[in-house]
């Protein structure tokens, strides 16, 4: 495992302080098994299922499927908090998500943990760091009392693409890191994950000169339980459990917040292609089946 700059001190110090354990959250889709939109009652059932493990979930678009409108009352009823998303890639999606936030966040401020603007938009090359900063600052201006940030791939922070976000004073940066998509054998997957996160955190913290500003967390990580192999990465419930026990439980022990990707399988999702051109099935990343049955042991 490679460490750099500020990060080893922060991470090495964490395990000694029990209360500093990280917080576990889950990425949560906004659609049911058939691809139709979830309603408040569906989110309430999701929250009942997740309640033993977490009190926080993250979504991707506040307006898609009327997520903000439907999820916030469920969060209030079940004592959860939500990271709401803005999809900034087009002016239309940005405006629709901002309008949904303006309509529902003020009534439910206690349920809103944070707002993320963009998901891997630097990784896809949609925005530079400076362009994304403008979008984030637009939302921050509308919600000055809410944590606002973004989520992107670890390497886009480590290679400096996201530097403008750090120097621009963004509140929250989420780091996505999938050893699976790096084609890693399960036996090297957690080491790869820790290394990815350490490189991203290290670069950001050495630039900011701080371990708590911006606030950092792992925004997405996980392991798929069925489908094709990707390089040396093999999908199975056994491997997902191994990654969970070593990678997720391990980084929580380090005091790092982490959002597992994802809570429930999404069988409606179309087949897609990975960066290496291999066909990939993205329907089976859930810790639970779409019927809310756990696929492996989720205890730490």
Ligand X SMILES: *[C@@H]1O[C@H](CO)[C@@H](O)[C@H](O)[C@H]1NC(C)=O
Active site residues: 120, 220
> Under the rule (CB under 6 A), what is the footprint of ligand X?
1, 184, 188, 191-192, 195
Of 245 and 292, CB closest to ligand X: 245
In the bound state with ligand X, the residue whose beta carbon lies nearer, of 195 and 257, is: 195
Beta carbons of 80 and 52 less than 8 angstroms apart = no
Name 152's Cβ contacts closer than 8 Å, sequence gap at least 6: 118, 119, 120, 121, 122, 123, 161, 162, 173, 174, 175, 176, 219
Give the shortest CB-133-to-ligand X separation in angstroms: 30
Minimum Å distance from CB 191 to ligand X?
4
> For 1, how many CA atoms within 13 A lie in the half-sphere containing its CB?
16
In this complex, which beta carbon is closest to ligand X, that of residue 90 or of residue 187? 187
Helix (H, G, I), strand (E, B) or coil at 280: strand
List the one residue out of 144, 79, 149, 65 whose CA is nearest residue 111.
79
Q: In the bound complex, what is the minimum distance in angstroms from residue 99's beta carbon to ligand X?
A: 43
Rg from Cα positions in the chain: 18
Q: What are 221's strand-pairing partners?
A: 260
CB of 274 to ligand X, least distance (A): 17
Nearer residue to ligand X within complex by CB, 115 or 175:
175
């Amino acid at each position: 495992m490679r460490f750099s700059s500020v990060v080893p001190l922060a991470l090495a110090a964490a395990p000694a302080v029990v209360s500093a354990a990280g917080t576990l959250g889950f990425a949560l889709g906004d659609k049911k098994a058939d691809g139709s939109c979830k309603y408040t009652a569906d989110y309430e059932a999701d929250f009942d299922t997740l309640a033993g493990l977490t009190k926080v979930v993250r979504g991707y678009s506040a307006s898609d499927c009327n997520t903000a409108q439907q999820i916030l009352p469920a969060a209030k009823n079940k004592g959860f908090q939500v990271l709401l998303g803005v999809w900034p890639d087009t002016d239309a999606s940005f405006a629709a998500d901002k309008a949904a936030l303006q309509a529902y966040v003020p009534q439910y401020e206690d349920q809103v943990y944070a707002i993320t603007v963009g998901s891997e938009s630097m990784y896809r090359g949609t925005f530079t760091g400076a362009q994304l900063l403008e979008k984030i600052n637009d939302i921050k201006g509308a919600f000055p009392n809410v944590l606002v940030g973004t989520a992107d791939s670890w390497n886009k922070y480590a290679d400096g693409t996201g530097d403008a976000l750090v120097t621009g004073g963004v509140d929250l940066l989420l780091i996505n890191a999938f050893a699976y998509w790096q084609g890693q054998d399960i036996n090297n997957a957690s080491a790869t994950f820790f290394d990815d996160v350490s490189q991203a955190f290290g670069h950001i913290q050495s630039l900011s000169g701080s371990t708590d500003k911006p606030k950092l967390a792992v925004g997405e990580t996980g392991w798929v339980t069925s489908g094709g192999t990707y390089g040396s990465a093999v999908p199975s419930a056994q491997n997902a459990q191994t990654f969970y026990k070593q990678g997720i439980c391990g980084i929580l022990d380090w005091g790092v917040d982490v959002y597992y990707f994802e809570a429930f399988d999404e069988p409606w999702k179309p087949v897609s292609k990975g960066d290496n051109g291999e066909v990939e099935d993205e329907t089976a990343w859930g810790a639970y089946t779409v019927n809310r049955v756990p696929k492996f042991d989720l205890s730490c």
